Amino acid sequence: MQRLGYSEAEIDAAGAHWTVREILQQPRVWAEVADADPTAVGAFLGPLLAKDDLRIVLTGAGTSAYVGECLAPALTRRLRRRVEAVATTDIVAGPAAWLADAPTLLVSFARSGNSPESLAALDMAAARLKECWHLIVTCNADGALYRRGRTLENACVILLPEASNDRGFAMTSSFTGMVLAGALALGVLPAAEVAEPGIGRLASQVWEEHLPRLRELVRTGFDRAVFLGSNELKGLAREAALKMLELTDGRVVALADSPLGFRHGPKTVLNRSTLVVIFLSGDPATRRYEDDLVSELRRDGVAGHVVTLATGAAGGAGDDLRLAAPSGRWADLALLLPYAAFAQLLATLRSISLAVRPDTPSASGTVSRVVQGVTIYPAGA
């Protein structure tokens, strides 16, 4: 049996067993997340979301923080209220700056739930906020965050399927699974959009139909990568850049921005060894700005390759990759899931090409799957 053009033995020898498995399993994980009974979560969130003065803070560390960044624009549009994505690492370093005393729903995302900042953010919120509720979304039933959440009267915990608790170094199933779980719980994505034939089929197209193009891009030997996206897809761009950095052990330098923001200085990173990936929005108003930048980058001819990812008919350039979505315009938050699979596969294949082991990419051992070495100090000390 082959996966991604490699035999099982070749994938295992490359140290990519778990990473590849966890990328390819995502449609199944999404279906399980969508099938979860929403009754308890709805009963918890319903009265809270009816509060006109409720502040919603989406938090997590690293990739888990980017989950909140992906959800915040969609949630702001739906609720028309104060929604902020603030990393636990920022909350812990400066709680007075981020925990203003207002009725607050703190939505915590965590794969393992064992990062020191995850628990510290809960404690700091409890100490500073008179009214605070917690929605905890995690992949690990044995994690400290899950156990703590189960003891709190003002909390509701969403535990994702066990398969989402990635065993590889990089967060893949856990990232998309938490985005989906958060989107469903907070009412910004209907469960029908992830049912078959749906978003899972779009992800399958990435490795069933676009694998040859992915492998061609890897063979160019790019050592810089830029990921661009607007609104919800800007959070994905940040996650895609992190995946490339992590899985290549820093040998491919990656950055992220919005298409409009990229012109304001970051564009200087471009050279012939740079791959630019633009996650195109399905929103016509947003798309005009993105199309302008794509045309500009291709006209300039400085970057090695400018790749766009979207749904619909193929574009005019060979680097335009299209997913054949069912009729109708899909929300960017839904498209984010197969787009993420594309970014994860690209980083994995580049990692293998560099003889970096994707399951354990940090050769020095100084970067770990669960962050170590963090001392939590008393607030204000």
* Cα gap 168→176, rounded to integer Å: 15
The predicted structure's pLDDT at residue 5 = 84
pTM value is: 0.95
Residue 128 binned pLDDT confidence (cut-offs 50, 70, 90): very high
C-alpha torsion sign, points 332, 334, 339, 343: positive
The predicted structure's pLDDT at residue 82 = 81
* Cα gap 117→24, rounded to integer Å: 30
Would you say residue 186 has pLDDT above 80?
yes
Report the pLDDT averaged over residues 137-145. Answer: 96
Would you say residue 32 has pLDDT above 90?
yes
Q: Which residue has the higher pLDDT, 191 or 281?
A: 281
- Nearest Cα neighbor of 183 from 98, 81, 107, 89 is 107
Q: What is the full DSSP assignment across 100-162?
A: -SS-EEEEEEESSS--HHHHHHHHHHHHH-SSEEEEEEES-TTSHHHHHHHH-TTEEEEEPPG
The predicted structure's pLDDT at residue 192 = 74
pLDDT tens, 244-297? 999 999 999 999 999 999 999 999 999 999 999 999 999 999 999 999 999 999
Q: Which fold has domain 36-194?
A: Rossmann fold (3.40.50)
pLDDT tens, 295-324? 999 999 999 999 999 987 655 566 788 887
pLDDT tens, 90-124? 999 999 999 988 999 999 999 999 988 999 999 99
Would you say residue 77 has pLDDT above 90?
yes
* Cα gap 100→149, rounded to integer Å: 22
Query: E strand or H helix at 57, and its extent?
Result: strand 55-59
The predicted structure's pLDDT at residue 274 = 98
Per the CB < 8 A criterion, the answer to whether 61 and 199 are in contact is no
Side-chain-side CA neighbours of 224 within 13 Å: the count stands at 18
The predicted structure's pLDDT at residue 368 = 63
Would you say residue 164 has pLDDT above 60?
yes
The predicted structure's pLDDT at residue 253 = 97
Q: Which residues contact 193 (CB under 8 A, 6 or more apart)?
A: 199, 330, 331, 334
CA 364 to chain centre: 25
The secondary structure of residue 268, as a DSSP letter, is: G
The predicted structure's pLDDT at residue 375 = 85
Residue 21 neighbours by CB distance under 10 Å: 18
Task: Parse the chain into domains and list their residue ranges.
Answer: 36-194, 196-353
The predicted structure's pLDDT at residue 312 = 76
The predicted structure's pLDDT at residue 115 = 87
The predicted structure's pLDDT at residue 380 = 60
Would you say residue 196 has pLDDT above 90?
no
3-state class (DSSP) for residue 254:
strand
Would you say residue 210 has pLDDT above 70?
yes
Q: Which fold has domain 196-353?
A: Rossmann fold (3.40.50)
From 133-137, 262-266, 343-347, 375-379, the region with the lowest mean pLDDT = 375-379
The predicted structure's pLDDT at residue 381 = 46
Q: Which residues contact 246 (CB under 8 A, 6 or more apart)?
A: 169, 170, 347, 361, 367
Report the pLDDT averaged over residues 184-192. Answer: 88
The predicted structure's pLDDT at residue 3 = 84
- Mean pLDDT of the chain, nearest integer: 92
Tokens at 340, concatenated: 């993420």
Q: 36-194 and 196-353: same fold?
A: yes
Q: What type of residue is 139?
A: C
Residue 81 binned pLDDT confidence (cut-offs 50, 70, 90): confident
Would you say residue 137 has pLDDT above 80?
yes
